[in-house]
A and B are shown apart, each in its own frame.
Chain A
Amino acid sequence: MSQSPTPRSLVGGAPQATYVLRFDGRELTAQAGQSIAAVLWAAGILAWRTTRQGGAPRGAFCGIGSCHDCLVTVNGRPNQRACLVPARPGDTVTTQEGTGHATPEPGR
């Protein structure tokens, strides 16, 4: 089966730059301008969060910032929308479980 053409291959484009980010300890190659969701998808990763009730897997759904399904922890900060946040060199992305927040101690 021959590879179907992509918009980029049709115009002979090449990424301006590539760099590395980490997802749960894995090194992934990102291209300049990609969202974090795009980087994860390109690596074949479709789920990067578990739901607050039931722990079901979630990834990108709407892809345009509306549905909040693709929340993920980026550089330690939970609840980032993977479809909107641009991938930056050296980012550390981790699977988000539940709210992504530990329950704080009382009085804090």
Chain B
Amino acid sequence: MDVVIIGAGVVGAATAYYAARSGLSVAVVDRGPVAGGTTGAGEGNLLVSDKEAGPELDLALLSAGLWRELAAVLPQEIEYEAKGGLVVAPDEASLAALRTFADGQREAGVEAVEAGAGELRDLEPHLAPGPVGAFLYPQDAQVQPAQAAARLLAASGASVHLGQEVTEILTGPAGVRGVRTPGGALLAPAVVNAAGTWGGRIAELAGVTLPVLPRRGFVLVTEPLPQLVRHKVYAADYISDVASGSAALQSSAVVEGTPAGPVLIGATRERVGFDRSLSVEALRRLATQAAALFPVLARARVLRTYHGFRPYLPDHLPAIGPDPRIPGLLHACGHEGAGIGLAPATGVLIAAALAGAQPPLSPAPFRPDRFAEDPR
């Protein structure tokens, strides 16, 4: 075995896929099932539209291309849809802010097309009147996240150990030697921490700190409806919510149809630890905002809701790469609400680090040891 990956979410699965393709022998271990944590609680957003120019956008653009390649080789059950995103500006001030935002993104390689109020009816026939304009982002796409993780993992050919919680990171004089689980030890000279929101605990097991925190989010699922919503549609204030460091409840509806018929309405953000209790206030706000964007949804029934915990790092960037504090330990976690989208690029960066190959972009901004001094 060349590498053990902790975490069978989409990041672990993509890392397994690209590591195996580079010729490595891979094992994936998870305390639960495939996509049992944050991956299974996501919407499957593959977004460039909500990211300002910078390292995360570069990662998202690399990933957007990789997802297009993956969609051609993975089974259609991953429900890849290159539907595009539509960011709606409720007033002139937010439209002006969007223009500035989009200018920066274009320099980084994002396609962003301004649409006037008159064009919105053609782009989204059921959108409420009122927005003064919008930006269309053709590179935004969507997958069914649990299917995407499962199909990536299957395609990797990795040996998969589910229901096995890692209880110890095994180390020796040369660094990491593997992991211990109740089912036995899995030995390898490299261990990847792809434990998502629980990545901080894995780091702790290895004796290092990685300040991953949970940021809770709710999603509403409507009854199956005829196609009403064509793009991923959200209001401009979503972007500031994503970038915010506030612990308080924030909500700005992202509305999208799915191939199966239900409309998904995400997503709230709040820092309340691992509290799984239902927040009626969060659901009320999502429903209100979705119906404000698409009045037709006011008459749709919500069938269910689900929620999960985004892995949040203080600077909103993931931790990707070798941990210089422990040779052989690598991190691939902390992607917050963008993990589905950023998974393939993360996998490629980790595979390059494992193989000693040149990565397609600089991993320096994602250094896992950037937060704190090593306590030892």
A residues sitting closer than 8 Å to B (CB atoms) are 52, 68, 78-79, 98-104, 106-108
The answer, among A78, A101, A102, A104, for a CB contact under 8 Å with B126, is A104
Cα A79 to Cα B121 in complex, Å, equals 28
Check if B77 is an interface residue, CB within 8 A of chain A: no
Taking a contact as CB atoms under 8 Å apart, the answer to whether A102 and B121 are in contact is: no
Taking a contact as CB atoms under 8 Å apart, the answer to whether B260 and A52 are in contact is: yes
Cα A106 to Cα B129 in complex, Å, equals 11
Closest to A104 in B: B296
Measured between beta carbons, the chain B residues less than 8 angstroms from A104 are 126, 226, 228, 296
In whole Å, how far is A89's beta carbon from the nearest beta carbon of chain B? Answer: 24
Measured between beta carbons, the chain B residues less than 8 angstroms from A78 are 223
The answer, among A68, A102, A108, for a CB contact under 8 Å with B295, is A108
Taking a contact as CB atoms under 8 Å apart, the answer to whether A99 and B224 are in contact is: yes
Cα A100 to Cα B226 in complex, Å, equals 9
Check if B72 is an interface residue, CB within 8 A of chain A: no
Cα A80 to Cα B203 in complex, Å, equals 47
Measured between beta carbons, the chain B residues less than 8 angstroms from A103 are 226-227
Check if B248 is an interface residue, CB within 8 A of chain A: no
Measured between beta carbons, the chain A residues less than 8 angstroms from B68 are none
Closest to A108 in B: B296
Taking a contact as CB atoms under 8 Å apart, the answer to whether B125 and A107 are in contact is: yes
Taking a contact as CB atoms under 8 Å apart, the answer to whether B296 and A99 are in contact is: no
Closest to A52 in B: B261
B residues sitting closer than 8 Å to A (CB atoms) are 121, 125-126, 129, 223-228, 260-261, 295-296, 301, 303
Cα A34 to Cα B152 in complex, Å, equals 45
Cα A3 to Cα B99 in complex, Å, equals 76
Taking a contact as CB atoms under 8 Å apart, the answer to whether A101 and B226 are in contact is: yes
Closest to B125 in A: A106
Cα A99 to Cα B299 in complex, Å, equals 14
In whole Å, how far is B292's beta carbon from the nearest beta carbon of chain A? Answer: 15
Taking a contact as CB atoms under 8 Å apart, the answer to whether A79 and B303 are in contact is: yes
Measured between beta carbons, the chain A residues less than 8 angstroms from B261 are 52, 99
Measured between beta carbons, the chain A residues less than 8 angstroms from B225 are 99, 101
Query: Which of B225, B228, B301 is the most central at the interface, judged by chain A CB atoms within 10 Å of its CB?
Result: B225
Cα A106 to Cα B301 in complex, Å, equals 19
Closest to A103 in B: B226
Measured between beta carbons, the chain A residues less than 8 angstroms from B126 are 104, 106-108
Measured between beta carbons, the chain A residues less than 8 angstroms from B121 are 106-107
Measured between beta carbons, the chain A residues less than 8 angstroms from B223 are 78-79, 99
Other contacts beyond A104-B226, A108-B295, A108-B296: 8, CB < 8 A: A52-B224, A79-B224, A79-B303, A99-B261, A101-B226, A102-B226, A106-B121, A107-B125
Known interface pairs A107-B121, A107-B126; A99-B295 also in contact (CB < 8 Å) = no
Known interface pairs A52-B261, A106-B126, A107-B126; A79-B226 also in contact (CB < 8 Å) = no
Cα A100 to Cα B300 in complex, Å, equals 12
Cα A100 to Cα B228 in complex, Å, equals 14
Cα A108 to Cα B154 in complex, Å, equals 43
Cα A99 to Cα B296 in complex, Å, equals 15
In whole Å, how far is B262's beta carbon from the nearest beta carbon of chain A? Answer: 9
In whole Å, how far is B298's beta carbon from the nearest beta carbon of chain A? Answer: 11
In whole Å, how far is A22's beta carbon from the nearest beta carbon of chain B? Answer: 23
In whole Å, how far is B41's beta carbon from the nearest beta carbon of chain A? Answer: 18
In whole Å, how far is A82's beta carbon from the nearest beta carbon of chain B? Answer: 14
Measured between beta carbons, the chain A residues less than 8 angstroms from B296 are 104, 108
Cα A78 to Cα B223 in complex, Å, equals 9
In whole Å, how far is A105's beta carbon from the nearest beta carbon of chain B? Answer: 9
Cα A79 to Cα B125 in complex, Å, equals 24
Cα A80 to Cα B224 in complex, Å, equals 11
In whole Å, how far is A49's beta carbon from the nearest beta carbon of chain B? Answer: 11
In whole Å, how far is B317's beta carbon from the nearest beta carbon of chain A? Answer: 39
A-B contact pairs, 24 of them (CB 8 A): A68-B303, A79-B223, A79-B224, A98-B224, A99-B223, A99-B224, A99-B225, A99-B226, A99-B261, A100-B224, A101-B225, A101-B226, A102-B226, A103-B226, A103-B227, A104-B126, A104-B226, A104-B296, A106-B121, A106-B126, A107-B121, A107-B129, A108-B126, A108-B295
